[in-house]
Amino acid sequence: MTNMHDLKKEQDRALLIGIDKGEKDRDIESSMEELSELAKTAQVETAGIFTQKRDNPHPATYLGKGKLDELKDLIRYQENEPNMLIFNDELTPAQFRNLSDKFDIRIIDRTLLILDIFAAGAGSAEGKMQVELAQYRYRMSRLSGMGKILSRLGGGIGTRGPGETKLETDRRHIRSRLHNLEQGLAEIRQNRETMRKRREKQGIFQAALVGYTNAGKSSILNLVTEDSNYVADKLFATLDTTVRRMTLPGGNEILISDTVGFIEKLPHHLVQAFRATLEELQYADVLIFVSDAASPYRENHKDVVLKTLDDLGLSEKPLIYVNNKMDKEVALPLPQVPRAQKTVQMSVMTGNGKDDLLAAIEAAANRGKSRMSLLIPHENGKMISYVYSHCDILEESREEQGAFFEVYADEEGSKRLAEYKITTLVMNG
């Protein structure tokens, strides 16, 4: 079978099309700039940007009639004629069909563009299944229009993943494939649930990195764990969830995970397909919200992330807020998240702020625990074993009178070990 990537013989060039609703909290310039970055990630050159001021997209053709005619003239007289139009919203089936009839080049919407990026970047079996599921769900309602995309100009955006024959002529195959993908992901979800319960039983503290795409989450994971996962200065550089075990300076062993970055208007089909992965955030003990402090759009990005967390039911989850990329030119005052337990300024490039972040994570891990100095008689092996299995040990030694431990213990542990304590200090984080 021919790989669709191999069919692309020349650089794709696209005109980017958007609606300027005049919203104060959503600058059309920043939105179109982000669309251009998405196109660049998909290896598409931006040939130009074309916008119209409207309260809402035209229900039939996205742009009004006059603007459509103006766009057609623009395409015709461009020196290097573009071979696709990329729209900054998800098109309805009717809009897709009408625009495909009017323009003799590929019609791509924001959702299809993001799905294409995910299709090209997914590495794990689960990631590939999640993206394929999202692609099928998206395309099922657009079969009549998608045929034109798939038949024009060989490969490229919109053709990665399910092929034309499967989409156009075999709906039963599509439904069967959807069922198989959902079943496969359900099994993976069950396996993840088993692993999660095992981690909970072990009592391991879990932290999860979240943030807008390209804020530096993966770089921070590499920095604090001294690992070397793939990172790149582009949108959605990493898609698959990465979990690493690490030891904090005080001795606590924790798990820290990196998840897919958020973005404005993250496609509904993608959120649904990745829900099982995103649900991992619900079981994290603390979220580390990473922000690109040097971005001129950081406030908008912050709002997008917080809204996405709210939509996932994570508004009450403990939070550490990280202003990253402080080595760059950064406007003051810095953004704040009032509900964050701690705010940290750092730079992954220089390493400044790493210790502050580790201290903040450690404080979160020890929140609600008691720091205890214990002396347990040598003959009480059962309680000594309990300390090893249920407490965070900071220091230990064998004394003549018994085993000495300096530990962090949770509420239950504090009660069980109370008779062996020398001193107790409650940590409020």
Q: Tell me: the pLDDT tens digits for 249-299?
A: 888 889 998 877 888 888 777 777 676 667 778 889 999 999 999 999 999
pLDDT for 350 equals 95
Q: Tell me: the pLDDT tens digits for 214-233?
A: 899 989 999 999 876 655 55
Q: Tell me: the pLDDT tens digits for 167-184?
A: 455 677 778 888 898 888
User: How would residue 8 be classed by pLDDT, with cut points 50, 70 and 90?
Assistant: very low
pLDDT for 143 equals 63
**Range name among 101-115, 128-142, 211-225 with the lowest pLDDT average:** 128-142
pTM score of the predicted model: 0.79
Architecture, CATH, for domain 4-173: 3-Layer(aba) Sandwich (3.40)
Higher pLDDT: 283 or 352? It is 352
pLDDT for 166 equals 47
User: How would residue 11 be classed by pLDDT, with cut points 50, 70 and 90?
Assistant: confident
- Taking 80 as the threshold, does the pLDDT of residue 237 lie above it? no
Q: Tell me: the pLDDT tens digits for 366-409?
A: 888 888 999 999 999 999 999 988 888 888 999 989 999 998 88
Q: Which residues pair with 324 in a beta bridge?
A: 292
Architecture, CATH, for domain 204-366: 3-Layer(aba) Sandwich (3.40)
Q: Which residues pair with 286 in a beta bridge?
A: 207
Q: Tell me: the pLDDT tens digits for 293-343?
A: 999 999 999 999 999 899 888 999 999 999 999 999 999 999 999 999 999
What mean pLDDT do residues 128-149 have? 73
User: For the chain, what are the domain ranges?
Assistant: 4-173, 204-366, 370-426
What is the average pLDDT value for the chain, to the nearest integer?
84
Q: 204-366 and 370-426 share one CATH topology?
A: no
Q: Tell me: the pLDDT tens digits for 89-107?
A: 999 989 998 999 999 899 9
Q: Tell me: the pLDDT tens digits for 34-82?
A: 999 999 999 999 999 999 999 999 999 999 999 999 999 998 887 778 9
pLDDT for 389 equals 84
Q: Please answer whether residues 248 and 227 qualify as being in contact, where contact means their C-beta atoms are separated by less than 8 angstroms.
A: no
CA 13, CA 28: separation in Å to the nearest integer?
Answer: 21
- Taking 90 as the threshold, does the pLDDT of residue 151 lie above it? no
Report residue 259: phi and psi, to 5°.
-115, 170
Assigned CATH for 370-426: 3.30.70
What mean pLDDT do residues 346-355 have? 95
